[in-house]
Structure 1
Amino acid sequence: MLNEGDQAPNVTLQMSDGSMKQFAELVKPLVLYFYPKDDTPGCTTEAQAFTTLAGDFAKAGVGILGVSKDTSAKHQKFAAKYDLKVDLATDADDSVCEAFGTWVEKSLYGRQYMGIERATFLIGKDGRVARIWRKVKVKGHAEEVLKAAQALT
């Protein structure tokens, strides 16, 4: 399990344009948020909230990247449909979720299955995890992350 203060894993991410990037190549500080699925109510609300505050994050010098298992093509449709201003990445093989500890057993109506835990990581300039939010509730979350990001920079 990844903890605050730990070095963020240098995983490989597939960006929504199809390009591959090492985590170490991404701009930091960075908000890295994991979400279950494009174009679902909670995930859409979360992406829109981060989009609304994208300018404030940029003023603080903090990037935003959302990660799910959806394909690059699906990410592109999702971003276009809602005019999202956050970058999205694909974790098709679960390696990124595994490295950050967000690939977890879930339960719905008594059925057990594996899925992405809604979680957010604030990564500092040094590549270390500054803050972690697990089992995120969407309402007010982007604002809380922004305050932490502004305090970090």
Structure 2
Amino acid sequence: MSERLKPGDTAPAFTLPDADGRPVSLAGHAGRKVIVYFYPAALTPGCTKQACDFTDNLALLAGAGYDVIGVSPDKPEKLAKFRSAEELTVTLVSDPDKEVMVAYGAFGEKKLYGKTVTGVIRSTVVVDESGKVERALYNVKATGHVAKLIKDLGV
């Protein structure tokens, strides 16, 4: 089970391939706030809803100084298919080894239909301009999460 992050922690550095295989790093967003969200699988109903909500609110978030990066264990090819099928503009990156998910506390035991399973924990971590965790939200709901996040951030 991975350790969950708390406000004030230094956000773990990462560089992961995006849907086109290009490297995306947290350091590449230095000086901006970054919403890093973790989701179980591209092209599934809940994850699609969440990715579409982020895409629909990307301009609003960017205007408030936030970049958004979605992380899943899917391979870049599947992310490209997801992006194309749903017309997503949010940055999606691949973490097939789940190392970044573990570092962020977004992989471990969770309840699924009443059973305890090991997998991706739907999570959102807001990182400030200096690379510190501002908010760490775990076991978030796919539906309504982006709207609540925008409200909570005061955007």
Query: TM-score, length-normalised on structure 1?
Result: 0.90
Q: Say if 1:21 and 1:51 are closer, same or farther in 2 by CA, change over 3 A.
A: closer
Please tell me the root mean square deviation across aligned C-alpha atoms, in Å: 1.8
Q: Out of 89, 96, 99, which is 1:92 matched to?
A: 96
CA separation in 1, counterparts of 2:24 and 2:113?
Answer: 37
Aligned residues: 151
Query: TM-score, length-normalised on structure 2?
Result: 0.89
Q: Say if 1:137 and 1:109 are closer, same or farther in 2 by CA, change over 3 A.
A: closer
Once the two structures are superposed, the pairs formed by residues 67-146 of structure 1 within 5 Å of their partners are: 67-108=71-112, 112-146=116-150
Q: What are the Cα deviations for residues 47-87 of structure 1, in whole angstroms up to 9, with x where unaligned? A: 11111111101111211110000010100110110111100
Name structure 1 gaps, 5 residues minimum. none
CA separation in 2, counterparts of 1:124 and 1:73?
Answer: 30
Q: Say if 1:127 and 1:150 are closer, same or farther in 2 by CA, change over 3 A.
A: farther
Percent identical pairs in the alignment equals 37
Contact 1:62 1:149 in 2 (8 A): no
**Pairing 1:39–2:39 present:** no
Once the two structures are superposed, the pairs formed by residues 1-40 of structure 1 within 5 Å of their partners are: 1=3, 2-26=5-29, 28-40=32-44
CA separation in 2, counterparts of 1:147 and 1:136?
Answer: 15
Name structure 2 gaps, 5 residues minimum. none
CA separation in 2, counterparts of 1:74 and 1:59?
Answer: 29
Bigger shift: 11-20 or 103-112?
103-112
CA separation in 2, counterparts of 1:13 and 1:150?
Answer: 29
